[in-house]
């Protein structure tokens, strides 16, 4: 059905046509002098139409239209004396209204127009002496009444059909939405255990095993990657198919894109006797604007297909560039292989979903058959195209065109700047250690936390754990540690990672706003990374975690001063005590672990200088000896008073853990619970003394 505004335009046009016909009829009966009267009657209606066209409420617009029509035709009937054609004019209006209004509004118009016709008929009895005209008019009115009833039935039927179609569309939309949600949940639910399988395989790969055992581990990793690739393809296809796939338009480096693709394909060809040849136009612009991820996926899909169906010979990636203007151009990409080829009758089936050709012969080939279908859909979104030429037993050539905008037109010179790229992940080795780095891993799944924690241990990092978003918020808010990095899971019950990140960013102070937060997620749906970045996260790391990607992420976000040579331990770092005399007050405050400096500064009316002095005072007031003396004498009254003093002083500087322990011992002293004091006194003294020792080292170098 046409949209509402279009039907309004049609109504106005038909109304004007009807008035013109009425005018011609009037001229034939009464002469040319009536044209002026017709024009005068038409003008108010046109003004009313113009007014109605600019309104928003559809019911008001409809009433304006049919009232304008009624008034105009009544005017013509009375002034121009063309009553006989009036029912026909009103029926034209009713038919047009019936195309797009609700039955209720049409019925309203019909009742009103019938009343008008009867009134005019009554007037005609007095005005006209011609019995034949009156009988003819009565016949027309009866015909109009029957026509209106028939039209009403038609409109009611159309309305019911429209509602039924709307209900079916709504059911289809809900089914599509349910499918999308199901796929997103499936992604998370499948990728979560896959994260554990792949992560444990990564950890095993670092061990000292026999060649056969290493082969088993490599098979587990490769099978995990293949399964994840299949999941991602299904998700991408569903996303495009439902119309929810969006294109990014961001600058990207051309050489980096090609280098990534070549690295992946070289790795997959390591066990095959096939040579990958790159023939890249040196004049391709250095930086372009477009969707880098989708172009990368198109290239990888095409080259992967070539790898699957080529057993010997070469695979060639050829990329040329054609300028259309100074800031626009087209990629011309050819992927040429010497594989098994495709028969002409099967070429038309290539780009259909789940379509693997010659399934019986190619049963050993992995994949969903979605790769080329996804490529075609991506290219349609980008305004590009894909075609293929192939000959059985001789190979295939896939040709792709992709329009792109230019960001930096200087030549990329890929061969000169990149050359051959080999990226064998099996030879990757960790190249740094960060034992002093403070990392928090947030995940509701115990296995996921274990995998991430064990991977961090490879870098010398003993990560803290949080099992919920609220737990992570509490740890950041209490500021017991200055975390260098948080890995935040996305999909968690009660509070997801996005919501937790937003709350952390809104905490008081600079620390929560500057704290690097990395999305650690099994959500593989395209576009998810934008949601993470928009929520205040700094970066994105997909599950299952790969050691090289974790290596890059830690190196990127952990402060350089905390990165050491591989194998460096905390004991090694402790031997190199920092020179606090060379540090600023801000740097000293940032180095204080186990103290909530934000609360401490608040307690000093927001003054860092006053807080700095308070810490020095705290360092000089040692109550540990006094508390121990009362403990040994079992003087519980004075023990409680001394514990109260430690609690108050510790709370003021933000040493919450010591303050809480002192408070518990204070209460135990007040109620005479000597057994609780015996069990917990030593722990408080140990923590309290350690903090005093550290503060004295900082402020007095003793």
Tell me: pLDDT of 100 over 60: no
Closest CA to 528 of 178, 177, 236, 197: 236
Best mean pLDDT range from 254-258, 438-442, 534-538, 696-700:
438-442
What is the rounded radius of gyration, in angstroms, for the C-alpha atoms of the chain? 40
Higher pLDDT, 553 or 546: 553
Evaluate if residue 175 carries a pLDDT over 90: no
Asked if the model's pLDDT at residue 121 lies above 70, the reply is no
* pLDDT level of residue 24 (50, 70, 90 thresholds): confident
Q: Give pLDDT tens digits for 614-628.
A: 888 888 888 888 999
Question: How many CB atoms are closer than 10 A to CB 483?
Answer: 21
Residue tagged 């790795």 (tokens): 267
More confident residue, 203 or 229: 203
pLDDT (mean) for 289-310: 86
pLDDT for 54 equals: 65
pLDDT digits (tens, 9 = 90+) for 475-495: 888 777 778 999 998 878 888
Report whether pLDDT(347) > 60. yes
pLDDT on residue 575? 60
pLDDT at 49 over 90: no
Domains and CATH numbers, the chain: 4-129 (no CATH), 250-427 (3.30.565.10), 439-570 (3.40.50.2300), 585-700 (1.20.120)
Length of the chain: 702
User: Which region among 242-251, 422-431, 551-560, 637-646 has the lowest average model confidence (pLDDT)?
Assistant: 422-431
Quick one: how far is CA 461 from the chain centroid?
A: 31
* The pLDDT value given to residue 76: 62
For residue 335, the model assigns a pLDDT of 93
- Top mean pLDDT of 219-223, 287-291, 479-483 is at 287-291
The pTM of the full predicted model, rounded to 2 decimals, is 0.46
The pLDDT of residue 420 is above 60 = no
Report whether 518 contacts 231 (CB < 8 A).
no
pLDDT tens for residues 306-340? 888 888 889 999 999 999 888 899 999 999 999 88
Q: What contacts 24+ positions apart, CB below 8 Å, involve 417-424?
A: 417/255, 418/255, 418/258, 418/259, 420/262, 420/278, 421/259, 421/262, 421/263, 421/266, 422/263, 422/266, 423/263, 423/264, 423/266, 423/267, 424/266, 424/267, 424/270
Read off the pLDDT band of 513 (50, 70, 90).
Answer: confident
Predicted confidence at residue 423, as pLDDT, reads: 38
- Tell me how far apart the alpha carbons of residues 251 and 404 are, in angstroms, rounded to a whole number: 10
Per-residue pLDDT for 562 more than 80? yes
Higher pLDDT: 110 or 275? It is: 275
């Amino acid at each position: 059905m046409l949209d509402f505004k279009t039907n309004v335009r049609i109504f106005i046009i038909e109304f004007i046509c009807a008035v013109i016909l009425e005018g011609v009829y009037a001229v034939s009966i009464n002469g040319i002098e009536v044209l002026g009267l017709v024009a005068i009657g038409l003008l108010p209606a046109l003004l009313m139409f113009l007014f109605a066209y600019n309104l928003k409420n559809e019911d008001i617009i409809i009433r304006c239209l049919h009232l304008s029509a009624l008034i105009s035709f009544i005017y013509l009937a009375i002034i121009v004396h063309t009553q006989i054609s009036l029912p026909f004019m009103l029926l034209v209006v009713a038919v047009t209204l019936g195309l797009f209004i609700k039955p209720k509004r049409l019925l309203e118009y019909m009742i009103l127009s019938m009343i008008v016709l009867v009134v005019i008929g009554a007037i005609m009895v007095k005005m006209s002496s011609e019995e034949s005209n009156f009988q003819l008019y009565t016949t027309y009115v009866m015909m109009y009444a029957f026509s209106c009833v028939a039209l009403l039935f038609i409109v009611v039927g159309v309305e019911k059909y429209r509602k039924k179609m709307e209900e079916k569309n709504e059911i289809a939309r809900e089914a599509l939405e349910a499918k999308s949600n199901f796929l997103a949940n499936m992604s998370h639910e499948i990728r979560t255990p896959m994260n554990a399988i792949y992560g444990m395989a990564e950890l095993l790969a670092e061990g000292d095993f026999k060649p056969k055992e290493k082969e088993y581990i490599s098979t587990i990793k490769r099978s995990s990657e293949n399964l994840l690739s299949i999941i991602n393809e299904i998700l991408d296809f569903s996303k495009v198919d439902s119309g929810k796939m969006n294109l990014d338009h961001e600058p990207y480096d051309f050489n980096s894109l090609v280098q990534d693709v070549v690295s992946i394909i070289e790795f997959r060809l390591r066990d095959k006797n096939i040579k990958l040849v790159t023939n890249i136009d040196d004049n391709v612009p250095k930086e372009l604007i477009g969707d880098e991820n989708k172009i990368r996926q198109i290239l990888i899909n095409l080259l992967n297909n070539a790898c699957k169906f080529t057993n010997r010979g070469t695979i060639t990636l050829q990329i040329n560039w054609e300028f259309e203007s100074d800031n626009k151009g087209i990629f011309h990409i050819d992927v040429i292989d010497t594989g098994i080829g495709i028969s002409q009758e099967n070429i038309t089936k290539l780009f259909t979903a789940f379509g693997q050709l010659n399934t019986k012969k190619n049963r050993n080939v992995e994949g969903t058959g979605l790769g080329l279908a996804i490529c075609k859909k991506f290219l349609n979104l980008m305004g590009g195209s894909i075609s293929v030429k192939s000959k059985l037993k001789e190979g295939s050539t896939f040709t792709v065109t992709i329009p792109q905008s230019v960001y930096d037109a200087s030549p990329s010179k890929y061969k000169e700047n990149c050359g051959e790229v080999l990226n064998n992940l099996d030879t990757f080795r960790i190249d740094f250690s960060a034992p002093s780095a403070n990392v928090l891993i947030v995940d509701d799944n115990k296995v996921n936390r274990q995998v991430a924690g064990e991977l961090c241990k490879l870098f010398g990092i003993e990560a803290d754990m949080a099992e919920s978003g609220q737990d992570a918020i509490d740890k950041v808010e209490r500021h017991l540690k200055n975390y260098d990095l948080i890995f935040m899971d996305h999909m968690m019950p009660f509070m997801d990672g996005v919501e937790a990140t937003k709350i952390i960013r809104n905490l008081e102070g600079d620390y929560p706003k500057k704290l690097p937060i990395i999305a650690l997620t099994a959500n593989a749906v395209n576009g998810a990374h934008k949601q993470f970045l928009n929520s205040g996260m700094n970066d994105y790391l997909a599950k299952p975690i790969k050691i090289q990607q974790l290596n890059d992420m830690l190196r990127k976000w952990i402060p350089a001063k905390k990165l050491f040579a591989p194998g460096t331990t905390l004991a090694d770092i402790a031997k190199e005590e920092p020179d606090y005399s060379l540090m600023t007050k801000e740097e000293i405050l940032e180095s204080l672990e186990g103290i909530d400096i934000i609360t401490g500064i608040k307690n000093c009316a927001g003054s860092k200088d006053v807080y700095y002095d308070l810490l020095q005072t705290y360092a000089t007031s040692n109550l540990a000896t006094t508390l121990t003396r009362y403990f040994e004498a079992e003087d519980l009254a004075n023990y409680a008073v001394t514990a109260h003093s430690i609690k108050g002083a510790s709370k003021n500087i933000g040493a919450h853990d010591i303050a809480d322990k002192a408070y518990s011992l204070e209460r135990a002293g007040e109620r005479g619970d000597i057994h609780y004091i015996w069990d917990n006194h030593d722990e408080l003294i140990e923590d309290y003394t350690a903090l005093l020792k550290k503060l004295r080292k900082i402020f007095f170098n003793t």
